[in-house]
Amino acid sequence: MFGPTLEAYITMSKQSGGSYKIRIYSRPDFKGQMMELCDDCESTHESFQCRSIQSCNVMEGYWTLYEHPGFLGRQYFMAPGEYRKFTEWGAACATIGSFRRIAEF
C-alpha cells in the first residue's frame, strides 16, 4: 500500500534540482494579473494584492500552496504543470494565503 507513494516521492526528490519558478494568476485560464516568483511568499495579499489565485503554472520545482498567510491552513502539493483553475489542484475555493518551495521530500 505504501510502496508506490514512497517511490513517487523518491522519484520527485531526485528530479527536483534547485530551480524554482511559479506563475500565479488572478483569473482562470492564465488570465488577469500575473506574478512570476522564484521564492517563498508568506502573504499573497501583500505580494499579489489578491486573496485568490484562480490559475497557476508551476514551471520549475515543487511547491506547496497554503490556504492562509504564514504557511497555515489547507495545503496543496503542486508538481510542475499547468493548473487552469483552482479545482485542478484539489481546492474547493481559490483562496490562497501563502506558498513555498519544497526543498526536500
Q: At 89, which CATH number? A: 2.60.20.10
Report how many domains make up the chain.
Answer: 1
* Whole-prediction pTM: 0.80
Residue 4, domain member (yes or no): no
Residue 98 predicted with pLDDT over 50: yes
Domain boundaries, position 22:
18-102
Adjacent-strand bridge partners of 99: 41, 65
Residue 11, domain member (yes or no): no
Residue 29, domain member (yes or no): yes
The DSSP code for 38 is S
Residue 9, domain member (yes or no): no
Residue 10 predicted with pLDDT over 50: no
Residue 80, domain member (yes or no): yes
> C-alpha distances in angstroms, 98 versus 3, 64, 101?
31, 9, 11
Residue 8, domain member (yes or no): no
Residue 60, domain member (yes or no): yes
Pick from 57, 66, 50, 64: nearest CA to 22 = 57
As a whole number, mean pLDDT of residues 63-83 equals: 96
